[in-house]
């Protein structure tokens, strides 16, 4: 099938307009879906929930009232890093073995901290098994 240059141009313009309209709808949908109390994209706010451990989780839980994804990450941050903080304090008081287990918890906590921040930035609800159920319930 042979197309004239005019027909090619018309098809090109129609396709370009369709792609631009689709991209505009996607951006508007993302903005509507991302309705938020804080003036940040949900992925950035979710990442920031983990940056300061349980303290930044508390800050974002207080500030964010609308976005369920951000609230999920804030609550999960409070639960996970609050529990790790308490475990570190308790283990730190035990002579000899407390130092070893405190070190192990610290290393695992840093790895979990990085994984949670990366997953939150990619709009994913990475579920820490014992904390995600509570975060789901409390963020609803």
Give me the helices (H) in the chain, please.
Answer: 5-33, 42-51, 54-63, 68-92, 97-121, 129-139
In this predicted model, which residue has the larger pLDDT, 101 or 110?
110
| Model confidence pLDDT, tens digit, residues 4-39 | 889 889 989 999 999 998 888 777 655 545 567 788
Residue 98: per-residue pLDDT: 87
- Round to whole Å and give the CA distance between 71 and 56: 12
Find the mean pLDDT for residues 111-122: 94
User: Is 55 strand, coil or helix?
Assistant: helix
Residue 32: per-residue pLDDT: 45
| Model confidence pLDDT, tens digit, residues 49-83 | 999 999 999 999 999 888 888 999 999 999 999 99
Residue 73: per-residue pLDDT: 94
Give me the helices (H) in 52-96, please.
Answer: 54-63, 68-92
pTM: 0.71
Q: Is the pLDDT of residue 1 over 80?
A: no
Residue 103: per-residue pLDDT: 87
Burial pattern 49-69, b for ≥16 Cβ within 10 A else e, equals bbeebbebbbbbbeebeebeb
Would you say 90 and 58 are in contact if contact means Cβ atoms under 8 Å apart?
no
Lowest mean per-residue pLDDT among 35-39, 122-126, 128-132: 35-39
């Amino acid at each position: 099938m042979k197309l004239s240059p005019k027909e090619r141009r018309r098809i090109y313009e129609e396709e370009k307009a369709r792609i631009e309209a689709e991209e505009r709808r996607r951006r508007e949908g993302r903005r509507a879906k991302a309705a938020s109390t804080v003036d940040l994209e949900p992925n950035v706010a979710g990442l920031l929930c983990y940056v300061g451990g349980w303290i930044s989780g508390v800050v974002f839980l207080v500030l964010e009232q609308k976005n369920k994804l951000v609230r999920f990450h804030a609550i999960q941050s409070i639960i996970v890093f609050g529990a790790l903080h308490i475990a570190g304090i308790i283990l730190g008081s035990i002579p000899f073995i407390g130092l070893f287990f405190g070190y192990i918890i610290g290393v695992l906590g840093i790895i979990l901290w990085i994984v949670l921040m990366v997953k939150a930035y990619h709009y994913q609800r990475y579920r820490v098994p014992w904390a995600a159920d509570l975060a789901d319930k409390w963020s609803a």
